[in-house]
Amino acid sequence: MVALLSVGMLFIALPEPLSPGPSWLLIAVVGVLLIPTAWARSRGYDRLTQIMGHVLSSVVTAGMIWSLGLLVTALLSHRIAPPELLRASAALWISNILVFASWYWRLDAGGPHAREARGAHTDGAFLFPQMTMIRQTKIDLHEQGWSPGFVDYLFLAFNTSTAFSPTDCPVLTRWAKVLMMMQSLISLATVVLLAARAVNIL
């Protein structure tokens, strides 16, 4: 939830022509959707919480992709000043990391509630290093009940946006591979095509 709110805050920094509506629109929508999500979570309605989480992530993802399209259009038409292009590129690059980290966290092994219910994380879309440790090593490192948290998926998303690969965490499922390809493509368009072009204009 904090990650998606952060994305909404980043959209406030976007120039008005690059935002899908008023700059405050996305964070307002996220704030409204967080109310039933928090209510469902407090009542223990896990299925409803999961659905609302997917709706939240979908809304933020759609807003990010829309803004990226507007940014490409603005770049080609030279309607936005270079400093604003750089600022928008940085905001969308960070948003890309936070959005896909949220997706990985929500979808891997049934989501956070399902992972927590299992105790130890032994199966999922990503092969984390802790999952390959032998039993004695896990005991020695006090990792018997290890389960990935949001920071683990944030690290994965950061690597995907910077190295265009999962680095130390192999991807095992098709849906995860598709999401990582989408994230890498967005990062490539934002960093290489847009930011580099803006620097050349300066």
Q: Each residue of 155-175: pLDDT tens digit?
A: 999 999 888 777 788 899 999
The residue written with tokens 């991807």 in the block is 171
Q: Which amino acid is at 1?
A: M
Confidence of residue 106 (pLDDT cuts 50, 70, 90): very high
* Tokens matching residue 2: 């904090």
> What pTM was computed for the model?
0.86
Q: How far is CA 100 from CA 156, 190, 201, in A?
A: 9, 15, 30
Q: Is pLDDT of 202 > 60?
A: no
pLDDT score at 11 = 81
pLDDT in tens, 47-91: 888 888 899 889 989 988 888 888 878 777 777 777 787 788 888
pLDDT score at 1 = 64
Mean pLDDT of 114-121: 80
pLDDT score at 91 = 87
pLDDT in tens, 1-11: 677 778 888 88
pLDDT in tens, 128-157: 888 888 877 777 777 777 889 999 999 999
Confidence of residue 109 (pLDDT cuts 50, 70, 90): confident
Q: Is pLDDT of 33 > 80?
A: yes
Q: What is the DSSP string of 103-156?
A: HHHHHGGG-HHHHHHHSS---SSB--GGGGS-HHHHHHTT-TT----HHHHHHH
d(CA 60, CA 140): 41
Residue pair 20/67 in contact by the 8 Å Cβ criterion = yes
| Cβ-proximal residues to 42 (8 Å cutoff; 6+ apart), any chain | none
pLDDT score at 157 = 94
Mean pLDDT of 25-45: 85
